[in-house]
Amino acid sequence: MRSSHVFRAGSAIALAGLVACAEQPTTSPTDVDARKVDGVESAKKSPGSDEVVKVSPLLKRINARLAAKGSNLRVDRGELLYGAKAYDAASPTVIVANDRTHTLPYQWVPGDPRRGGAEGVSYAIDPDLRTTAFGIPNLPAIEVDGGGFRPSTQAELEGYIEEAMQAWRDRRCSDSRIERVAVPAGTDPDQLDQVLLGNPVNSNYAQPSDIVQAGWQPPEFFEAIIAGGSDAILGISFTFTFVDDQNTPDPSDDVETDINGDGNRDTGLVEIYYNPSFIYTNRGTPGGFIDFYSVITHESGHGLGLAHFGKVFITKKDAADGFQVSDVKYAPKALMNAVYVEGRDEITGSDNGSFCQIWAHQ
């Protein structure tokens, strides 16, 4: 099985690595000591998680560009989770993910004047969710009942995104606004798609909302995040936080803000991207297909401030006769588990609790 990577830039991603064939792991998360590797700062492990924390040069370049423009938004640091490739004979249990923090360390500020003073959050959907690279459309293929697959349509993809956003709106603990707004005609609603593909931000870029559902990107986009990313990353949420800009092109002197004193940094923008390199399904079908609802609702949960939560593991006993998807165990099973395996994930008690922790009093 491919090594499972999680790249978190503000928010995090789900993974499909567990459905591949198994091979022996080389390095477990706890084997990584603090050091610099290829110009990337790394720490041994982040508190409350088995994630290895690294600062990505890519994010540094993005933030330097934002600082040079005088923006008061910065992309937060990247965090990578190294999952065991499968069974490790040296230990009784392989922990693929072990996250114990329900919410992210940055949150939306109710009535934030920097976002127009509105309560809740707004979101927009890119009018062209299917991007084109080198003249070839990048659109996810959909599994067809009875065999085969077909291209998706813009209307279908918008429908899947709306279903995910509605799932969070339906939480009974909160009536906070999660409202769709239109993308102004003639504008480009997302910026990091161009940056990660090595292009300048489009001259017609304009931020339309708090959360931007930016659509499905070509393999090069995910390879720019991490080598092998096009084969492992299902989706990624980039969270931008507000800073007090010191009017220099150097982002290292920025001061992160917490204007409501809740102990969290202040979120200013989230851009969410998805990978079309897999065959998707809208029926939760197992067997290697990727469920639209599970991935989009997971990433949208990050956009609303939810973190990864839960332990995902494989025991020595279960792995003894070869890796099976049924060998994967969860404590608890949740939509916001860091690892996606197969089938449809629903919002569970822990997901609902995380959401309500953030939104019940907003």
Range of weakest confidence among 2-11, 43-52, 102-111, 293-302 = 2-11
pLDDT mean over 248-267: 89
Question: How would residue 323 be classed by pLDDT, with cut points 50, 70 and 90?
Answer: low
pLDDT mean over 262-267: 95
> What is the distance between the alpha carbons of residues 288 and 305, in angstroms, rounded to a whole number?
29
CATH code of the domain covering residue 181: 3.40.390.10
> What is the distance between the alpha carbons of residues 108 and 242, in angstroms, rounded to a whole number?
10
Whether residue 88 is predicted with pLDDT greater than 50 in this model: the reply is no
Helix spans in 145-191 (H): 154-169
pLDDT mean over 333-359: 91
Does pTM top 0.85 for this prediction? no
Whether residue 92 contacts residue 347, with contact meaning beta carbons closer than 8 Å, is answered with no
Structure confidence at residue 222 (pLDDT): 84
- Total domain count, the chain: 1
Q: Please state, rounded to an integer, the average pLDDT across all residues of the chain.
A: 77
Structure confidence at residue 92 (pLDDT): 63
Range of weakest confidence among 17-26, 100-109, 210-219 = 17-26
Q: Please give the residue range of the domain that contains residue 271.
A: 4-359
Beta-sheet pairing, 279-281 with 290-291: parallel
Structure confidence at residue 300 (pLDDT): 95
Structure confidence at residue 362 (pLDDT): 74
pLDDT mean over 191-215: 93
Phi first, then psi: give them for residue 30, nearest 5 degrees.
Answer: -80, -5
Whether residue 1 contacts residue 17, with contact meaning beta carbons closer than 8 Å, is answered with yes
> What is the distance between the alpha carbons of residues 311 and 350, in angstroms, rounded to a whole number?
12
> What is the distance between the alpha carbons of residues 210 and 208, in angstroms, rounded to a whole number?
7
- Please state at what angle helix 292-303 crosses helix 349-359, rounded to 10 degrees: 30
Residues ≥6 apart with Cβ < 8 Å to 227: none
Structure confidence at residue 351 (pLDDT): 96
Range of weakest confidence among 142-151, 300-309, 313-322 = 313-322
End-to-end CA distance of the chain: 43
Whether residue 296 is predicted with pLDDT greater than 90 in this model: the reply is yes
